[in-house]
Structure 1
Amino acid sequence: MRITDGDNPRLPYLREKTSKLTSSPGCYIMKDSSSKIIYIGKAKNLKNRVTSYFRKGQDHLPKVWKMVSHVNDYDFIVTDSEFEALVLECSLIKQYSPKYNILLKDDKGYSYIRITNEAFPRLQSVLQKYDDGAEYIGPYTSSYAVRQAVAEANKVFMLPTCSRKFPQDFGKQRPCLNHHIKQCMGVCTGQISQEEYNAVIRQALDYIRNGSQDSIERLTKEMEAAAEELNFELAAKLRDRISAITKAADKQKIIDPNMKDADIIAVSQNGEKACASVLMYRGGRLFDKADFFLGEEEDQTEMRENFITRFYSNRDSVPKEILLDEDIENYQLLEKWLREKSGHAVHISTPKRGHMLRLTTLAKSNASEYLSIKVGRTGKEIVALEELAKALELPKPPKFIECYDISNLASSDMVAGMVVFENGRPCKKYYKKFSIKTLSEQNDYASMCEVLERRFRNYFEKTDEGFSKLPDLILLDGGQGHVNTVTPVIRKMGIDVPVFGLVKDSKHRTRAVATGGGEISLTKSRSAFNLVTRIQDEVHRYAITYQAKKHRKSSYQLELTKVRGIGEKKAVKLMTQFKTKENLKKATVQELAKAAGINAAAAEELYKVIQDM
């Protein structure tokens, strides 16, 4: 949104004040008309940073625009370094809790592991304790970690998760699918003794409490003892259980001896809305998880840096290692601040491969799912837009995507279609059709230029709601040539929107994304590839449907001109008024005569031709 003096009459005064501001590092403190602090920020260069808020015609995100519109005045504090500005900013935000800063709140309760009071107990994750005779382990601060740990233990030790009651339901029904795929030991068969089952429950709880390595060591000793006593059946069961634990340990992310003390942070963004997710490992175990809605955010690097400072400002403990899903610029500055805050070294890194990358991917998935609840989109849609932004090196995921396709039959009935995807979904109310007006012969490049020029001329004239928004991304159904031809045309109009082409293979399927200097493969970004394919298929369908409809209409017009007294202009008049062949057939002789401006005899002849069409 563009800020104007009409939005805030104090802007001229604020610009004048800022013109004299120092270029030193420091903090700026925005205040409203009642002198209440509404925003606090830090800057390496105070003058440059504060100027960006009050500059004439400056575009802002809605949240920033709203904040600037309420600024009545500001104070500033000069510091000796950017690091001192960071420390001061954290202190001031903690003291004043300004309305427009990221303020992180975590209002979750506690969770427990429940061992039911039955002859054959079950392991469950619950949110509160009841006076029901069951055994409870906890409380734990993370319901996520509890759910994951219980699910993992039930799977590894093949414990029943069905609703059957034991021993009452022994042999009443056939074992379920879980038993056949070896995810349940089959207690319902009646072949598992209560003593044997309770031993497995103890092993599962030991696994949850102490981790996979300790469990393997204890079970190995039990297996060796059973073998020495020639109890080979028990030894075989213990061997299989050790194998299951080892296999699960390779895949699961709940217990990880390599992650003794670490936080994994990822941010997911959809348009301007963003969420952050933090997975916290302590002592080699997933100790807690926290999700935060960040509201409207723009620069992804700055957003992550701001989140880190807000998150750790309010925490007593800081881990020795912090893993991020994306690189940040001022990681050394933040490491220094965290080291001084915690009293120990803190290492910030962004994994690029291996096990650590899988952990940041897990955190990213959690952030995407949390964001999907907030914005009414699926996690897959959010991931697709993020992958697309990353592949095309866009500053943020594109909220509005416009895609164009040209369709024609040789040099006749040349048309174009424009489809719009908002937050990864078709937004059909903004779809547009274009008839090519300036060309008489087929020329896809020139046609595409005409369409884009007309589209953005309408944007400046503000004559149509469908053209009133600037897209975040323009896709053209075509290759490098289309991009190189169209880009200069829209740049000349002052439109600075990224333009890419959609390249198809010999079977008319999406193959790659074209730039002005080559192609970008999306084969490693499956969600982005599927989204781009959907967009290309949709624009092709829309354009070719319009072209076919126009061709049918022009064919009718050509048939009408065969009637004496009906020229091209009168044929157009008839089609404009009646629109379809069906409506023409329903028209009376008198209605045809009036619409075309012809006499009764010509109208009679026209009527007969239309009925035979």
Structure 2
Amino acid sequence: MHITEEHNPRLPYLRDKTSKLTTSPGVYIMKDKGGKIIYIGKAKNLHNRVTSYFRKGQDHLPKVWKMVSNVHDYEFIVTDSEFEALVLECSLIKMHTPKYNILLKDDKGYSYIRVTNEQYPRIQAVLQKSDDGAEYIGPYTSSFTVKQAVEEANKVFRLPTCTKVFPRDIKKERPCLNYHIKRCMGVCTGHFSEEEYRKTVAQAVDYIKNGSAQSVERLTAEMERAAEELEFELAAKLRDRIQAITKAAESQKVIDETIPDCDIIAISQNVEIACASVIMYRGGRLTDKADYYLGDRAEPAQMLEEFALSFYAMKEEAPKNILLAEEPADIEMLEQYLREKYGHAIYVAVPKRGHLTKLCTLAKNNANAFISVRVGRTGREVAGLEELARALGMEKPPRFIECYDISNLASSDMVAGMVVFENGRPCRKFYRKFTIKTVFEQNDYACMTEVIERRFAEYKKGEDEGFSQLPDLILLDGGNGHVNTIRPVLERLGIKVPLYGLVKDDHHRTRAIATGNGEISLLKSRSAFSLVTQIQDEVHRVAISYQKSKRKKSSFTLELTQVRGVGDKKAQKLLREFKTKEALKRASMEELRAVAGITIETARELKKIIDEMS
């Protein structure tokens, strides 16, 4: 987005002031017309950095555009180095909390694990500690940790999570689904004594407090003792419990003693907004997770660095290792700042391979899931758009994607389908179908050219809602030949929209994206691959179904024109009015005569032909 004097009349003054600015490193402080600080930034070269905000024709992301449009004046502080500027920037941001910097609030709420005080205790996650005689484990700073620990313990030890009250409801009703799928021991069946149940709860609490390794060790000792005392049924139950704990530990990234103490940070952006997710591992366990809404999206590397600085500004401690899902603006400077702040060695890294990359994927998935709630989309849809934008080198994920496909049977009934995906989902109200009018022999390139020309002619008219929206990305069902044919057409029409093709394999499945002079593989971008496959399958379905309906109507029209006095136009009138063969068969001769404008004799003959149709 460009900013002009219409948006900010102070631009001439700001440009003149900036032209005299020093090239030294330092901090710049943007203020609004009331003198309030609205943004603080650091720069290796103050002149170059500040100039980029006010330069004519400069493109800005929405967040920066809003900030620049409100700048009335700015101040600056020169420092000896860029690192000094970073330290000063962090200090000033903490002091002034400017509106357009990334600001995070530290959540001071606590969560607890409650073991209820009743005949058959339950293990629950709660937000407050009450004086109710229950046992409380905690406090924990993360509700995520508490909920996860409680769910895991109840699942592994098969404790009831239903609303039944014991012993009141024992043997009153049939067991629920959880019992049948082995997610609950089935206290309601009456097969477990109160003593046995309480012992199981105690084992679950021990599991929560001490982790899987110590729990397995204790349960193994109990199992061996039971076997020695010939209590084989108890030994079998303990064996099953040990296997459940082991399976839970192996199948989750939650428990992994090979993972060093670390924080994993990922940023997710969708169209115009962004969020961050932090996954925290301590002692081989996932101990906490935090999600932050960051507001308007910005340049990813800069946003990641700003978030990391803000996040650790409110933390008293930091682990030795910090893993980032992608490169920040300056990883070495970030690492140096954190080392000086915490007074111990800290290593900031962007894993490229190995099991640590899976942790970054976990953080990224959490960020996608968090942002999906904001935009009303699934995490997979958010990830698909982001991965696709990254693969195609786009500045931001495409909001509107249009895709086109040509369908024909030899040189007859040539048609095209256009589908629109908005934020990763089909937007069927904007779908359009085309009957090819200027091409009379099978030629996909010529047909696609006609369709694109007609589509953007409608865009320039601005009369049709579906055509008046300029897409962020155009996809063609075809390879490099299609892209190289249509790209000059768009240039001639003055349409500046990224254009790519969708290439299929021998089994008619999406294989890659055609650029015009090569291909981009999406095999390593699963969410993007799923998205473009869905788009390609959908446009193919629309084009094929329209082509079949046209062919069906053509054969139907041919049958009607066998009647003398009924030509193509009259047959089309009948089809438009009655739409289906069944409706035509139900029509009276008078109705046929009135619609087609034919004589009663012709109507009688027409009615006879229609009734004989299969």
Scaled to the shorter chain, the TM-score interval is 0.7 to 0.9
Q: 1:148-227 to 2 correspondence within 5 Å?
A: 148-227=148-227
Describe the shift of the 1:446–1:24 C-alpha distance in structure 2 as closer, same or farther (beyond 3 A): farther
1:89 Cα deviation after fit = 1.9
> Take 1:67 and 1:344, find their aligned partners in 2: how far apart are those partners?
36
Q: CA deviation at 1:524?
A: 4.8
Give the Cα separation in 2 of the matches to 1:346 and 1:282.
15
Q: 2:135 aligned with 1:139, yes or no? A: no
- Within 5 Å, give how 1:377-396 maps onto structure 2: 377-396=377-396
Which aligned pairs between 1:490-509 and structure 2 lie closer than 5 A?
A: 490-491=490-491, 495-506=495-506, 508-509=508-509
Alpha carbons of 1:112 and 1:312: their partners in 2 closer, same or farther (altered >3 Å)? same
Label 1:165 to 1:39 Cα distance change in 2 as closer, same or farther (>3 A): same
The 5 A counterparts of 1:272-283 are 272-283=272-283
Correspondence 1:418 to 2:418: yes
Q: Which runs of no fewer than 5 residues in structure 1 stay unpaired?
A: 594-601
Post-superposition offset of 1:398: 2.1
Counterparts in 2 of 1:605 and 1:103: CA distance versus 1, 3 Å: farther
- Following superposition, the deviation at residue 339 of structure 1 comes to 0.6
Q: Does 1:580 align with 2:569?
A: no
1:150-195 deviations in Å (ceiling 9; x for gaps): 1111122222223333333334445444344443333334333333
Q: 2: distance between equivalents of 1:303 and 1:87?
A: 17
Secondary structure at the residue paired with 1:249?
helix
Give 1:481 shift.
1.6
Partner AA of 2:35 in structure 1 = S
Question: How many angstroms does 1:337 deviate by?
Answer: 0.8
1:144 CA drift (Å): 0.8
Among the aligned pairs, what percent are the same residue?
67
Distance 1:411 1:344, change over 3 A: same
Residue of structure 2 in register with 1:598 after alignment: none
Hey, what's the Cα distance between the residues in 1 that align with 2:4 and 2:461? 19
> Quick one: which amino acid aligns to residue 515 of structure 2?
T
After superposition, the Cα gap between the structure-2 partners of 1:232 and 1:560, relative to the gap in structure 1 and judged at 3 Å, is closer
Distance in 1 of aligned mates of 2:594 and 2:198: 93
* Contact residue 262 and residue 319 of structure 2 kept, 8 A: yes
Q: Cα offset for 1:123?
A: 0.9
C-alpha spacing 1:32/1:201, structure 2 compared with 1 (3 Å)? same
Q: Say whether 1:7 aligns with 2:7.
A: yes
Alpha-carbon offset, residue 455 of structure 1: 4.5
**What's 1:397 paired with?**
397
Distance of aligned partners of 1:76 and 1:439 in 2 relative to their CA distance in 1, 3 Å threshold: farther
Q: Distance in 2 between matches of 1:550 and 1:57?
A: 49
Give the corresponding residue for 2:109. 109
**Greater Cα shift, 391-400 or 267-276:** 391-400
Q: Deviations over 1:265-311 (max 9, x none)?
A: 12222212121111223344333221111112132222222211121
Q: Which amino acid aligns with 2:83?
A: F
Distance (whole Å) between structure 1 residues aligned to residue 43 and residue 440 of structure 2? 57
Distance 2:412 2:332 in 1: 63
| Segment of structure 1 superposing worse, 151-160 or 280-289 | 280-289
TM-score w.r.t. the length of structure 1 is: 0.85
Structure 2 Cα separation of the partners of residues 438 and 166 of structure 1: 78
1:240 match: 240
Q: Does the CA contact (< 8 Å) of 1:592 and 1:603 recur in 2?
A: no
Alignment of 1:80 onto 2:76: no
Contact 1:106/1:292, CA 8 A, preserved across alignment: no
| Range 430-439 or range 12-21, more displaced | 430-439
Q: How many Å apart are 1:423 and its aligned residue?
A: 0.4
* Residue identity matched to 1:194: E
Report deviation, 1:378: 2.0
The structural deviation recorded for 1:70 is 1.6
Partner residue, 1:32: 32
* Structure 1 residue 589 displacement after superposition: 9.4
Would the aligned equivalents of 1:299 and 1:396 in 2 still touch at CA under 8 Å?
no
Aligned-pair CA distance for 1:567: 11
Q: Is the 8 A contact 1:300 1:396 kept in 2?
A: no
Q: Mapping of 1:437-586 within 5 angstroms?
A: 439-453=439-453, 455-456=455-456, 466-491=466-491, 495-506=495-506, 508-544=508-544, 580-582=576-578
| Partner-residue secondary structure (3-state), 1:580 | helix
* Counterpart amino acid of residue 379 in structure 2: G
1:597 maps to none
CA RMSD between the two structures? 3.8
For 1:17, give the aligned amino acid: K
Tell me the distance in 2 between the aligned counterparts of 1:31 and 1:604: 84
SS of the counterpart of 1:289? strand
- Are residues 567 and 46 of structure 1, via their aligned partners in 2, closer, same or farther at CA, if it must alter by over 3 Å? farther
Cα distance in 2 between the residues matched to 1:78 and 1:455: 54
Residue type matched to 1:63 in 2?
K
Query: Match of 1:312?
Result: 312
Shift of 1:475: 0.8
The verdict on how the C-alpha distance between 1:38 and 1:453 changes in structure 2, with shifts beyond 3 A counting, is farther
**In structure 2, C-alpha distance between the alignment counterparts of 1:578 and 1:46, rounded to whole Å:** 74
Name 1:298's counterpart in structure 2: 298
Per-residue Cα deviation, 1:83-127 (whole angstroms, up to 9, x for no partner) = 223222222211211112222224462211111112221111112
Distance 1:2 1:416, change over 3 A: farther
* Change in 2 beyond 3 A, CA 1:453/1:338: farther
Cα deviations by residue, 1:30-65 (Å, 9 ceiling, x for unpaired): 222222221222233333333333233434333332
Structure-2 change in CA distance of 1:355 and 1:592 (3 Å): closer
Amino acid at match of 1:304: L
Q: CA deviation at 1:404?
A: 1.4
**Mean Cα displacement is larger for which, 402-411 or 462-471?**
462-471
In structure 2, relative to structure 1, the CA distance for the partners of 1:582 and 1:461 (3 Å cut) is closer
Cα distance in structure 2, aligned partners of 1:330 and 1:137: 41
Question: Is residue 264 from structure 1 mapped to residue 264 from structure 2 by the alignment?
Answer: yes
CA distance in 1, matches of 2:100, 2:39: 5
- Equivalent residue, structure 1, for 2:364: 364
Structure 2 residue identity aligned to 1:156: V
Comparing 252-261 and 114-123, the one that deviates more: 252-261
Offset of residue 250 of structure 1? 1.7
3-state SS of paired residue (2:136): strand
Q: Secondary structure at the match of 2:419?
A: strand
CA distance in 2, matches of 1:327, 1:340: 21
Matched length: 601
Partner-residue secondary structure (3-state), 1:139: strand
Whole-angstrom distance in 1 between the partners of 2:594 and 2:232? 101
- For residue 158 of structure 2, give the secondary structure of its aligned residue in structure 1: coil
Which residue is equivalent to 1:334? 334
Deviation at 1:331, TM superposition (A): 1.5
The within-5 A match list for 1:338-353 is: 338-353=338-353
Describe the shift of the 1:18–1:281 C-alpha distance in structure 2 as closer, same or farther (beyond 3 A).
same
Residue identity opposite 1:96 in structure 2: H
Change (3 A) 1:393 1:604: same
C-alpha displacement of 1:232: 4.4
Contact 1:40/1:89, CA 8 A, preserved across alignment: yes
Whole-Å separation in 2 of the counterparts to 1:21 and 1:558: 79
Secondary structure at the residue paired with 2:513?
Answer: strand
Structure 2 letter corresponding to 1:279:
I
Q: Would the aligned equivalents of 1:368 and 1:383 in 2 still touch at CA under 8 Å?
A: yes
1:54 aligns with 2:73: no
2: distance between equivalents of 1:76 and 1:99? 18
